[in-house]
């Protein structure tokens, strides 16, 4: 079986190179674009990409009408004259055809992506249903979408580098957290009887789940005050349930829709949050939005030591190498030291401020009638 792995990796790399990428249309010219009168955002609602990157920026457009449409909704009630369109990852045939029919009326079309989608498709972590969704809604439309694009935005510099074509400018739309995040109540400075430790990675993070399983199992044996919560389904959920962990001290939740997840993580906090990120094509292009979720839960975090989480790091955060020994040592420290948990919790709150300060609060390159040139 091991001898098949190099051959499979070669095949994956070939497919990765062949899959289409978003790129600006051949005739895209920023100088010829008219000022926009209104903004249309197309996406699958609700979803984290909109929450992390678009919502706060639309709030700055107080004088500009902002229309948000799910990809299954019709656009018959939308005026295309002077309309700027943002496609957030996905689009379906009826909306794409609507854009093509009104191409001459539009002020511009931007495509925003926050994942290396070809890497997800050719990797072995994502489920087949999720891969089918990506193929159908994000990859298959790209050749037609690319003929419309005047702007291309990615969430990180690394992702931009994987998509860049000669002569085409890709602009960075970094995460933009809310100015005041809803945060779970401040924990007591007294040592609690129980501590809640969580890992909220999706099924796309299979390697991170499998990396944490033996670590969490050992930590739960060492610290009887710990209760562990994880989101997982299918084979990952079964793997977690087979770990040697007291069944009364582990909760395996099925994944939630984004709006339900936001509500849950605002109303129910955590004491310790695990945020591993292993090296690989998909992860190397990721941004540090996990900080936002951890801050919302009011947790003390352990982050992997990697460029993604270094971006907005501040003193007091805990960053460790991806070894079981370092992760267990960090968990031991946070469990036993209440003051350290409070320091790490407050440091992540500070890092959210740094994330907001480092983000451009506007949409790159769009000129709006009411707001002037926002480039």
Cα–Cα dist 336/291, whole Å: 23
At 181 the pLDDT is 65
Residue 156: is its pLDDT beyond 70? yes
Residue whose structure tokens are 């709030």? 59
DSSP H helices, 60-178, are: 93-101, 117-122, 128-134, 142-146, 157-163
| % of the chain at pLDDT higher than 70 | 92
Per-residue pLDDT tens over the stretch 9-30: 888 888 988 899 999 987 665 5
Cα distances (Å, whole numbers) of residue 149 to 56, 80, 85, 339: 23, 16, 10, 51
Phi, psi of 136 (to 5 degrees): -75, -40
Residue whose structure tokens are 């699958």? 44
Per-residue pLDDT tens over the stretch 232-258: 999 999 999 999 999 999 999 999 999
Per-residue pLDDT tens over the stretch 328-348: 999 999 999 999 999 999 999
Cα angle: 151, vertex 262, 200; to 5 degrees:
95
Q: How many CB atoms lie within 10 A of CB 364?
A: 17
CB 254 within 8 Å of CB 233:
yes
Please name which of 279, 280, 277, 281 lies closest in space to residue 290, comparing C-alpha atoms.
277
Cα angle: 100, vertex 105, 109; to 5 degrees:
60
Residue whose structure tokens are 């129910």? 268
Better-scored residue on pLDDT, 168 or 292? 292
Residue 189: is its pLDDT beyond 50? yes
* Chain centroid to CA 192: 32
Residue whose structure tokens are 């002037």? 372
Per-residue pLDDT tens over the stretch 283-331: 999 999 999 999 999 999 999 999 999 999 999 999 999 999 999 999 9
Please name which of 137, 105, 64 lies closest in space to residue 366, comparing C-alpha atoms.
64
């Amino acid at each position: 079986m091991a001898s098949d792995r190099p051959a499979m990796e070669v095949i994956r790399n070939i497919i990765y190179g062949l899959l289409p990428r978003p790129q600006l249309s051949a005739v895209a010219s920023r100088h010829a674009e008219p000022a926009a009168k209104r903004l249309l955002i197309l996406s699958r609602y609700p979803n984290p990409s909109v929450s992390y990157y678009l919502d706060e920026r639309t709030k700055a457009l107080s004088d500009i009408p902002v229309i948000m449409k799910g990809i299954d909704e019709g656009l018959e009630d939308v005026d295309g004259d002077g309309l700027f369109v943002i496609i957030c990852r996905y689009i379906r045939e009826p909306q794409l055809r609507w854009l093509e029919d009104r191409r001459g009326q539009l002020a511009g079309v931007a495509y925003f992506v926050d994942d290396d989608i070809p890497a997800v498709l050719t990797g072995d972590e994502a489920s087949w249903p999720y891969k089918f969704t990506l193929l159908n809604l994000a990859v298959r439309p790209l050749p037609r979408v690319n003929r419309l694009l005047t702007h291309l935005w990615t969430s990180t510099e690394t992702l931009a580098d994987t998509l860049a074509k000669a002569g085409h400018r890709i602009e960075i739309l970094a995460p933009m957290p809310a100015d005041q995040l809803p945060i779970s109540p401040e924990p007591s400075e007294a040592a609690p009887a129980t501590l809640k430790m969580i890992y909220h990675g999706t099924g796309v993070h299979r390697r991170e789940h499998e990396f944490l399983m033996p670590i969490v199992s050992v930590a739960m044996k060492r610290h009887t005050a710990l209760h562990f919560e994880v989101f997982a389904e299918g084979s990952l959920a079964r793997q977690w349930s087979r770990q040697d962990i007291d069944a009364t001290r582990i909760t395996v939740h099925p994944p939630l829709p984004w709006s339900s997840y936001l509500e849950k993580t605002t109303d129910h906090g955590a004491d310790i949050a695990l945020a591993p990120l292993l090296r690989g094509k998909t992860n190397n292009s990721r941004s540090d939005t996990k900080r936002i979720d951890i801050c919302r839960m009011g947790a003390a975090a352990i982050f992997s030591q990697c460029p993604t989480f270094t971006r907005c790091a501040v003193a007091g955060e805990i960053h460790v190498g991806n070894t079981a020994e370092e992760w267990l040592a960090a968990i031991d420290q946070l469990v036993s030291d209440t003051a350290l948990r409070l320091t790490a919790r407050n440091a992540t709150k500070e890092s959210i401020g740094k994330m907001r300060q480092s983000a451009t609060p506007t949409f790159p390159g769009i000129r709006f009638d009411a707001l002037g040139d926002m480039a």
